[in-house]
Amino acid sequence: MIQFQNTKSFAQEMDEKDPLKAFREQFYIPVINGRESIYFTGNSLGLQPKTTQDYVLNELEDWANFGVEGHFHGNNPWFNYHELFPQQLSPILGALPEEIVVMNQLTVNLHLLMTSFYRPSKERYKIICEAKAFPSDQYAIESQVKLHGYSPVDAIIEVNPRVGEHTIQIEDILNTIAANADSTALVLFGGVNYYTGQAFDMELISKAAHHAGALCGFDLAHAVGNIELKLHEWEVDFACWCSYKYLNSGPGGVAGAFIHQQHTINKELPRLAGWWGHEKATRFKMEKGFRPIATAEGWQLSNAPILSMAAHKASLDLFEDAGMDRLLTKGKLLSEFLFFIIHDINAGFTEDPIEIITPENIKEKGCQVSMLFIKKGKEIFESLKQHGVLADWREPNVIRVAAVPLYNTFTDVFQFGLIVKAILDKS
């Protein structure tokens, strides 16, 4: 157990000892007022690796040099470019390579997966999800329910935090699933809630869903590259994620999907099909009759967006070098240090100016810490920006920050604390 101290020398010492310290150099850090910013929005848009431009340029050059031949004769032939990813994503997701496919965008994948795994019947048609899920997920769920002819009011059950609390108790999730065991078709949660930063116990939720006879899926937008995942072992049925948050693969970057092996081998499973999901050996025979690949690739529709995938590859190569274990260890330390600093700031006031709404329990959070400012939240947020801190504002009074292990430092966290304290002392 490390004894944290709210001092510059302590933060510098932690940075010096950090086995991942060299990775910061591999990223472009945005500059504000002539100085490197304290970039705490890696949970929203991860920073650009310095290698990304070369990776993308290589594909542009192959296109220039080879034209259509680049599909088979480029340096990384585009025909199987997407096959570079499952192996690298496997330790990040805790999944078998055959269960992973990189394709499309996040919300598109959510719809594709719900098409296969939300198959309501007259008795079983409900979806259990978290209250205040990310809006795109809410809209996806609502429209899927309507598509099947059900009423969202009846078919969607949201699990809420208890009165006076910000996060959802696992007991309430499990009880809701049990109470609706006969009518629930699907349990669909985020891995980490985008607003509170609460990480859900996916293993328990998955078990409870299956015990109730339902299927279970997760939106991992805020979980992938951030917390430990063991999708295969937890027997999660499906999951999807985007690559532009913790995975640093660029705005609107190509997304991903996980489908458990027990489902990928079932070629009869209903799905929306496209030619890229068809068996490779006969894909170019262009014949009638869709025969899916028996891996997660069987859910692919279109040929791959190579430029976006090149950016993804640049970032995943860094993840491979850093190693997920070391990233998780440093990520935990950074967020614990941030908690310590905020508690220390609060201790200087008679009434706490900051309420942390992210759970403090290490198993219930990732890098993100969401802070509710009791007074003058918006002013403080604007002032942070002027002082070179890039954080994220959510109405009515929450500031979200994430210190991410690939490029943030303990000094970033210390400096953030100094700035917040100075602003609070003045206001």
Ligand X SMILES: *Cc1c(COP(=O)(O)O)cnc(C)c1O
Task: Work out how close the CB of 192 gets to ligand X at its nearest, in angstroms, rounded to a whole number.
Answer: 8
Q: How far is the CB of 193 from ligand X (least distance, A)?
A: 8
CA distance 173 to 366: 20
For residues 56 and 311, the answer to whether their CB atoms sit within 8 Å is yes
User: Measured from the CB atom, is 141 or 342 closer to ligand X?
Assistant: 141
Based on the shown chain and the rule CB under 6 A, indicate whether residue 392 belongs to the binding site for ligand X. Answer: no
Label residue 344 exposed, middle or buried (CB < 10 Å: 0-12, 13-18, 19+): middle
Strands (E), 76-212: 100-102, 126-130, 156-159, 184-190
Single out the segment in contact with ligand X by CB under 6 A; choices: 123-131, 134-142, 197-205, 257-265. Answer: 134-142
- Residue number, 4 or 189, with CB nearest to ligand X: 189
Shortest distance (Å) from residue 196 CB to ligand X: 12
Query: Whose CA is closest to 15, among 28, 29, 25?
Result: 25
Identify residues 265-324 at the interface with ligand X (CB under 6 A).
none
| E strand or H helix that includes residue 174 | helix 170-179
Backbone angles phi, psi at 126, to 5 degrees: -90, 150
Helices 170-179, 202-211: axis angle to 10 degrees equals: 10
- According to CB under 6 A, which one of 190, 217, 292, 377 is a site residue for ligand X? 190
- Does residue 194 bind ligand X (CB under 6 A)? yes
354-356 and 368-373 beta bridge pairing:
antiparallel
Joined tokens for residue 415: 């400096």
* CB closer to ligand X out of 222 and 421: 222
Q: By CB under 6 A, tell whether 103 contacts ligand X.
A: no
- 81: how many CB neighbours lie within 10 A of its CB? 22
Cβ neighbours, 10 Å, residue 106: 26
CB of 167 to ligand X, least distance (A): 16
Q: Is the separation of the CB atoms in 316 and 250 below 8 Å? A: no
The window from 3-11, 216-224, 227-235, 303-311 that contacts ligand X (CB under 6 A) reads 216-224
Range in contact with ligand X (rule: CB under 6 A) among 15-23, 131-139, 298-306, 356-364: 131-139
Round to whole Å and give the CA distance between 245 and 50.
17
Residue 103: which of 240, 300, 307, 310 has the closest Cα?
300
Closest to ligand X by CB, 241 or 410: 241
86 or 190: CB nearest ligand X? 190
Member of 216, 221, 311, 327 binding ligand X (CB under 6 A): 221
> Both tokens of residue 344?
């220390």
Kindly state whether residue 52 participates in binding ligand X, applying the rule CB under 6 A: no
273: three-class secondary structure by DSSP: coil
Of 6, 105, 264, 308, the one binding ligand X by CB under 6 A: 105
> Cβ closer to ligand X: 254 or 423?
254
Binding mask 226-265 for ligand X (x = CB under 6 A): ----------------x-----------------------
Q: Which two tokens stand for residue 307?
A: 């430029």
Sheet with 392-394: strands ordered across: 354-356, 368-373, 398-402, 392-394
Q: Are strands 126-130 and 184-190 parallel, antiparallel or unpaired?
A: parallel
Per CB under 6 A, does 107 bind ligand X? yes
Of positions 24, 124, 222, 271, contacts ligand X by CB under 6 A: 222
- In the complex, least distance from residue 6 CB atom to ligand X, rounded to whole angstroms: 31
Q: Give min distance, CB of 275 to ligand X, in A.
A: 23
d(CA 187, CA 205): 8
**Cβ proximity to ligand X, 369 vs 420, nearer residue:** 369
Kindly write out the interface string for residues 136-165 of this chain, putting x where it contacts ligand X by CB under 6 A and - elsewhere.
Answer: xx----------------------------
Peptide bond before 305: cis, by omega within 30 degrees of 0?
no
**Region from 80-88, 101-109, 313-321, 410-418 binding ligand X, contact rule CB under 6 A:** 101-109
Residue of the chain from 11, 89, 100, 106 that contacts ligand X (CB under 6 A): 106
Cα separation of 137 and 133, whole Å? 6
Nearer to ligand X, 243 or 335 (CB): 243
Which lies closer to ligand X via its Cβ, residue 136 or residue 346?
A: 136
Q: Which residues, in sequence order, are CB contacts of 80 under 8 Å at separation 6+? A: none
Binding site for ligand X (CB under 6 A): 105-107, 134, 136-137, 190, 194, 219, 221-222, 242
